[in-house]
Structure 1
Amino acid sequence: METILTLKNLTKRFGSITAVNDLSFTIKKGNVYGILGPNGSGKSTTLGIVLNVVNRTSGDFTWFDGSTSTHEALKKVGAIIERPNFYPYMTAAQNLKLVCQIKDVPTDKIEEKLELVGLLDRKDSKFRTFSLGMKQRLAIASALLNDPEILILDEPTNGLDPQGIHQIREIIKVIASQGTTILLASHLLDEVEKVCSHVVIIRKGVKLYSGPVDEMNASHGFFELNSNQNSILKKWLSEQSTFGNIKEEDGKLIAFLNNELDAESLNKQLYDAGITLTHLVKRKESLEEQFLQLTNNLN
């Protein structure tokens, strides 16, 4: 599969603050990637670096085959990394025509892109009459005028009402279905889960996970356990390679699995070790629980 973008050990420091810390990942053609992390985790800085608006401190990134200069490569990129900013007293079509002149691309795609984002019937309406959701959709149309190979979106649904969020997500799905690679930054797990095929999770500039969303969802789950000897039980669990993180919650022990194990087998192992359980439930770990576990474990 063709490579669109490669980041290698990318680092950005602002004085004593490290916003992006040794970040590496690869974007392949035809997928929808989400950079997911809490606010302030370095998502926007990362996008700014690859779009040449923020200077990196160290590391490197390459577009496409690596032999294309960033200046040339960005002609094949569409991006929205700030609030939509158009002329308020110009119509949607007039604003897009101006964008075409700036990007030096033909104007024959304006109506096609307006139709794609559901604004063709408002092409002659002034920008100042648009809702925030409509402004964001016009910005997406603007970013698509050069038929980019990759569309980059920074928090595309930020500040929108539920209807606006739904419309933007549906538009992203349509754009992706037409073969455009998409890279979006978001702090919303729900957004990434609903529209992305791949995810890069970062916190404080550090990559915690990179890979398909489905694979992250395919965890081995966790056990809820209780006994009259919880301290002995916790010690036993911590000595088993089968288990990873172990924590106490509401008087129960929560033991996350590194490998597959069913409840019957665990119960027998504990019985043989002289530990009798008063509570044993196996649960599937949701994507939200995994995300919280990942982002909360890094101090």
Structure 2
Amino acid sequence: MENILTLNNLTKKFGALTAVKDLSFTIKKGNVYGILGPNGSGKSTTLGIVLNVVNSTSGEFIWFDGNTSTHDALKKVGAIIERPNFYPYMTAAQNLKLVCQIKGVDSSKIEEKLEVVGLLDRKDSKFRTFSLGMKQRLAIASALLNDPEILILDEPTNGLDPQGIHQIREIIKKIASQGTTILLASHLLDEVEKVCSHVVIIRKGVKLYSGPVDEMNASYGFFELKSDQKSALTEWLSKHNDFKNFKEEDGKIIAFLAHELDAESLNRQLFKEGIVLTHLVKRKESLEEQFLQLTNNLN
């Protein structure tokens, strides 16, 4: 599959603050990628670097095959990294016509792109009459005017009501289904889970996970355990590589699996060691639980 964008050990420092640290990942054609992380994790800085509005401190990024200059590559990119900014007294169509003139693209695409974002019936309405969700949809139409190979969106549903959020997500899926690669930054796990095929999780500028969303969801699960011999149980867990970590929560020990292990096998092993369980339940981790584990493990 063709590479669209590759980051190699990208780092950005603002004085003593390291906003992005040795970040590496590759975006391949035809997928929807989410950069997921808490606010302040370096998502927007990363997008700013690849869009040439922020200079990196070290590392590199390569657009497409590496033989295209960043200036030329960005002609094949559509991006929204700030709040939509159009002329309030001009109509949707007039604003998009102005964007076409600035980008040097044919204005014949305007109605087609308004149709994609569900605003064709409002093409002659002034921008100032638009809701926040409609303004965001018009911004997406604007970013699509040059038929980009990749669409980059920074927190595309920020500040929207539930209906607006749903509309933007449906539009993202529709654009992706037509073959456009999408890269979006979000702090919303729900957003990434619903619209993305791949995810890069970062916190404090450091990559914690990169890969398909469904692979992240394919964990081995965890056990909820109770025993009157708690110290013996925790000591046993700490020595066994079947478990990646464990914690105490609401009087139970939550033990996260590093490998597949069924409840019967665990019970038998512990019984041999003289440890009797009073509670044993195996559960699957949700994507949210895995995300919280990843982001909380980094101090």
* Both structures adopt the same fold (TM-score exceeding 0.5): yes
Deviation of the 1:25 alpha carbon: 0.2
Determine the structure 1 residue equivalent to 2:102.
102
Q: How does 1:128-147 map to 2 (within 5 A)?
A: 128-147=128-147
Q: Distance in 2 between matches of 1:238 and 1:142?
A: 55
Deviation of the 1:239 alpha carbon: 0.3
User: Deviation per CA, 1:246-286, whole angstroms, max 9, x where unpaired?
Assistant: 10001110000000000001000000111000000000000
Q: Which amino acid aligns with 2:225?
A: L
Determine the structure 2 residue equivalent to 1:237.
237
Determine the structure 1 residue equivalent to 2:166.
166
User: Deviation per CA, 1:102-151, whole angstroms, max 9, x where unpaired?
Assistant: 00000011000001100000000000000000000000000000000000
User: Deviation per CA, 1:207-261, whole angstroms, max 9, x where unpaired?
Assistant: 0000000000000000000100111100101100000111000111000000000
Instruction: Please state whether the residue corresponding to 1:156 is helix, strand or coil.
Output: coil
Determine the structure 2 residue equivalent to 1:148.
148
Q: Distance in 1 between matches of 2:163 and 2:26?
A: 32
1:178 aligns with 2:178: yes
Unmatched tracts of structure 2, length 5 or more: none
Instruction: Please state whether the residue corresponding to 1:27 is helix, strand or coil.
Output: strand
Q: Which amino acid aligns with 1:186?
A: S
CA RMSD of aligned residues (A): 0.3
Q: Distance in 2 between matches of 1:3 and 1:10?
A: 17
Q: Which amino acid aligns with 1:26?
A: T
Q: Which amino acid aligns with 1:88?
A: P
Q: Distance in 2 between matches of 1:220 and 1:108?
A: 52
TM-score (norm 2): 1.00
Q: How does 1:278-289 map to 2 (within 5 A)?
A: 278-289=278-289
Determine the structure 2 residue equivalent to 1:85.
85
1:16 aligns with 2:19: no
1:42 aligns with 2:42: yes
Q: Distance in 1 between matches of 2:70 and 2:230?
A: 58
Determine the structure 1 residue equivalent to 2:114.
114
TM-score (norm 1): 1.00
Deviation of the 1:79 alpha carbon: 0.1
Q: Which amino acid aligns with 1:184?
A: L
Q: Distance in 1 between matches of 2:229 and 2:69?
A: 64
Instruction: Please state whether the residue corresponding to 1:108 is helix, strand or coil.
Output: helix
Instruction: Please state whether the residue corresponding to 1:30 is helix, strand or coil.
Output: coil
Determine the structure 2 residue equivalent to 1:201.
201
Q: Which amino acid aligns with 2:45?
A: T
Q: Distance in 2 between matches of 1:63 and 1:285?
A: 36
1:126 aligns with 2:102: no
Deviation of the 1:88 alpha carbon: 0.4
Determine the structure 2 residue equivalent to 1:212.
212
Q: Distance in 1 between matches of 2:203 and 2:92?
A: 38
* Identity value in percent: 87
Q: Distance in 1 between matches of 2:155 and 2:96?
A: 22
Instruction: Please state whether the residue corresponding to 2:118 is helix, strand or coil.
Output: coil
Q: Which amino acid aligns with 1:278?
A: T
Determine the structure 1 residue equivalent to 2:297.
297
1:56 aligns with 2:56: yes
In the TM superposition, structure 1's runs of 4+ consecutive aligned residues that sit over 3 Å from their partners are none
Q: Distance in 2 between matches of 1:37 and 1:231?
A: 35
Unmatched tracts of structure 1, length 5 or more: none
